Structure 1
Amino acid sequence: MSASSFPGGTSLSNLDVYDGAAPDGVCGGSPHMHLVSTEAYVVTGGRGALQTIDGEGFRETALEAGSVVWFTPGTIHRAVNRGGLNVVVLMSNAGLPEAGDAVMTFPAATVADPAAYAAAASLGDSYGRAERAAQRRDLAVAGFETLRDALLAGDRGPLEEFHAAAGALVRDRAAAWGRLVRERPLAQAEHSLALTEAVARGDIAHLGEARVQQAVPSAGERGFGMCGRLRTYDVTDDKENLQ
C-alpha cells in the first residue's frame, strides 16, 4: 500500500445515495455493518436519514446539508434518501473496508453460507450492475427488517446471530487486516508522535519537507457502492498532482 499523509489514515469518497425504492417503499442503500472500521457522513446536499441498529436498538437520525454523523464498528446502517442526498464519506482504516470489513444484512441463511453470501453480494460484470445493486439492496433490506422488528419486540436473538455469522464470514480474511492498520493509521500516529518529540527537543527539520497534496478522483461513471453511486479518491502521496 502506498504511503498517504491524508489525515488519520482515512479514505474519502463522494456518495449519491440511491434514489430507487426498496420493497418497503423506502429509497436508499443496502443495510450493512463494518466489523472494524468507523464511518462518518458529512452531508453536502439533499435530505434523508440514517437508520441504524446497534446495542441500544433501532434508531433513525435525520440528515440534511451540514449534518455530520459517524458510527462505530458493529453499527448496522441504512442510508435513506428523501431527496437528492449527497454525502462525503470518511472511512477509518483506509483499504480495510475494501478488504472485506463490511457485511450486508442478508437473511440469516445467506449470511451463514459463504458461497450464498458471495453470490448475493456480487455485482457481476459491467452489464446489469444497476439491477444487481438493486437486487442485493432489496435482499439486505429484508434481513434488516427482520433484525429491526425483532429488536423492537425485545428479542436480541436475531441480532446476536447476525453478529456471530458475520464474524465467521470474515474470519479468514481478517488475518491480513492488521497490516493495513499498521501501514496507514498506526504509521500516521507514530509519525505524528515522532514530530512532537522532535519539536520538543528543538528539531524542526521536517518543516522544510512540507508539501501540498491533491486527491485524484476516480475516472468515468460513479461506481455502484452499497449505499449509492460512489466517486472514490486516491489520497496516496507523491503523485504527479503535487502542487
Structure 2
Amino acid sequence: MSASSFPGGTSLSHLDIYDGAAPDGICGGSPHMHLVSTEAYLVVEGRGALQTIDGDGFRETDLEPGSVVWFTPGTIHRAVNRGGLKVLVLMSNAGLPEAGDAVMTFPAEIVGNADAYAEAASLGEAEGRAERAARRRDLAVTGFEALRDAVVAGDRGPLEDFHAAAGALVLHRAAAWGQLVRERPLAQAERSLALTEAVARGDVAHLREARVHEAPSPAGERAFGMCGRIRAYDVTDQENPR
C-alpha cells in the first residue's frame, strides 16, 4: 500500500446518491453495514436523508447542504435521495471497505449463504452494470425493510441474525484486515505520538520535512458503488513539482 499522510488513515470519495426509485418508491442507495469502519457524510449539494438501524433502533436523519453525519461499525444505513444529493464520504481505515468490510442487507436466506450472497452482490461486466446495480439495490432494500419492521415492532432477533450472518460472510478475509489498519491509521497515530514526544524533548527537526500534498482530480467513469455513483480520491502522498 502506498504511503499516505492524509489525516487519520482515512479515504475520501465524492458520491452522487442514486436517483432511481426502489420498489418502495424511495430513491437512493443499497442499504448496507460496515463491520469495522466508521463512515462520515458531508453533504455538498441537494437534499435527502439517512435511514439507519443501530443499537437505538430505526432512525431517519435529514440531509441538506452542510450536513455532517457519521456512523460507527454495525450501523445499517440507507442513503435516500430527495433531489440532487451529493456527498463527500470520509471513511476510516482506508482500503478496508474495498477489502470486504461491508455487507448488504439482502434477505436472510441470501446473507446466510456465501455463494448466493456473492452472486447477488456481483455487478459483472461493464455492459448492463447500471441495471444490475439497481437490482442489487432493490434486493438490499427488501432485506432492509424486514429488519426495520422487526426492530420497530420490538423484535431484535432478525437484526441479531443479520449481524451473525454478516460476520460469517467476512470471516475468511478478516484476518488480513489487521495489516491494513496497521499500515494506515495505527502507523499515523504512532507517528503523531512520536512527534509529540520529540517536541516535549525540545526536538523539532521533523518540521523541516513539512510538505504540501494535493490529490489529483478523479478521472474516468464514476464507479457503481453501494449508495451511488462514486469517485474515489487518490490521497497517497505524491511529489509536487516546484
* Kept after mapping to 2: 8 A contact 1:93/1:185: yes
Q: 1: CA distance between counterparts of 2:217 and 2:232?
A: 6
Q: 2: CA distance between counterparts of 1:217 and 1:95?
A: 19
1:107-137 per-position Cα deviation (integer Å, ceiling 9, x unaligned): 0000011111001000101111100100000
Q: 2: CA distance between counterparts of 1:94 and 1:155?
A: 34
What does residue 123 of structure 1 align with?
A: 123
Q: 1: CA distance between counterparts of 2:36 and 2:122?
A: 22
Shift of 1:241: 4.5
Please give the residue correspondences for 1:91-130 in structure 2 after superposition, counting only pairs within 5 Å: 91-130=91-130
Give 1:193's aligned amino acid.
L
Matched, 1:144 2:160: no
What does residue 175 of structure 1 align with?
A: 175
What does residue 69 of structure 1 align with?
A: 69
What does residue 22 of structure 2 align with?
A: 22
Name the SS for the 2:73 alignment partner.
coil
What does residue 209 of structure 1 align with?
A: 209
Aligned residues: 242
What does residue 83 of structure 2 align with?
A: 83
Q: 1: CA distance between counterparts of 2:167 and 2:241?
A: 40
Give 1:99's aligned amino acid.
A
Q: 1: CA distance between counterparts of 2:240 and 2:159?
A: 46
What does residue 194 of structure 2 align with?
A: 194
**Runs of at least 5 residues in structure 1 that lack an aligned partner in the other structure:** none
1:172-221 per-position Cα deviation (integer Å, ceiling 9, x unaligned): 10000000000000000000011111111111111111110011243211
Assess, with a 3 A threshold, how the Cα gap between structure 1 residues 242 and 98 changes in structure 2: closer, same or farther: farther
* Kept after mapping to 1: 8 A contact 2:14/2:87: yes
Assess, with a 3 A threshold, how the Cα gap between structure 1 residues 111 and 241 changes in structure 2: closer, same or farther: farther
Q: 2: CA distance between counterparts of 1:152 and 1:212?
A: 49
Q: 1: CA distance between counterparts of 2:30 and 2:240?
A: 34
Name the SS for the 2:21 alignment partner.
coil
* Kept after mapping to 2: 8 A contact 1:32/1:102: yes
Name the SS for the 2:231 alignment partner.
strand
Runs of 4+ in 1 over 6 A off after TM superposition: none
Q: 1: CA distance between counterparts of 2:161 and 2:116?
A: 17
Quick one: percent identity of the two aligned structures?
Answer: 82
Q: 1: CA distance between counterparts of 2:165 and 2:241?
A: 44
Name the SS for the 1:141 alignment partner.
helix
Give 1:71's aligned amino acid.
F
Q: 2: CA distance between counterparts of 1:204 and 1:190?
A: 17
* TM-score, normalising length: structure 2: 0.98
